[in-house]
Amino acid sequence: MRRMRVAGVCGAAVVAAVGGVAPYAAAVDGGAVGRPKAGLAYHGAATLSGGRVHVRFTPHNHGPSALPASAVRLRWSEPLAERQVLPDGCGRAGERMVMCRVGPLGTVGAGQQIALRVGLRGTPSEVLLEFGTVRSGGAPDDDRERRRQRVLVLDTGDTYYF
């Protein structure tokens, strides 16, 4: 039976509205006064085995504002393999990064689960996975500690929860 381990999480992430996968880089901007605020955290699990990472997570909006659209950036401490098969709504955004559309979220509540498997170059013994938020014309959060969430995943085949 596999052991279950709980991964430490450094902060939570905050999301602002972004329409789709392609315009992520162009959509990044700073917050403006008067925009609605929303706090988004990602809760799920990750497993690393033989250079493959399986991640599944659900975005949770902790309010106080609803998000008509949102996106999450997943960044790995190790480079990704050249070829990736990603689910609809997700796209490669660099050597170590994938962006996924989260969709609309109510004022307080959970969104749809996102699951993806990525291959890493080589077979590292561990990988640091960082969830971040792409900010765009929607909902900035002034709390810098809630903008990122990190999970250390070891190549043990164990599931790390966050």
**Residue 70, pLDDT score:** 81
> pLDDT tens digits for the chain (162 residues)?
344 333 333 333 322 223 333 333 333 333 444 555 778 899 999 999 999 999 999 999 888 888 888 889 999 999 999 999 999 999 999 999 999 998 888 889 999 999 999 999 999 999 999 998 775 544 444 455 555 799 999 999 999 999
Distances (CA, A) of 150 to 9, 31, 125, 129, 139: 5, 23, 17, 6, 21
- How far apart are alpha carbons 56 and 77 in whole angstroms? 18
pLDDT in tens, 135-153: 554 444 445 555 579 999 9
pLDDT value of residue 145: 55
What does the alpha-carbon distance between residue 156 and residue 57 come to, in Å, rounded to a whole number?
20
Contact 35, 138 (CB under 8 A): yes
Q: What are phi and psi of 146, to 5 degrees?
A: -95, 5
Cα angle for residues 5, 149, 156 (degrees, 5° grid):
30
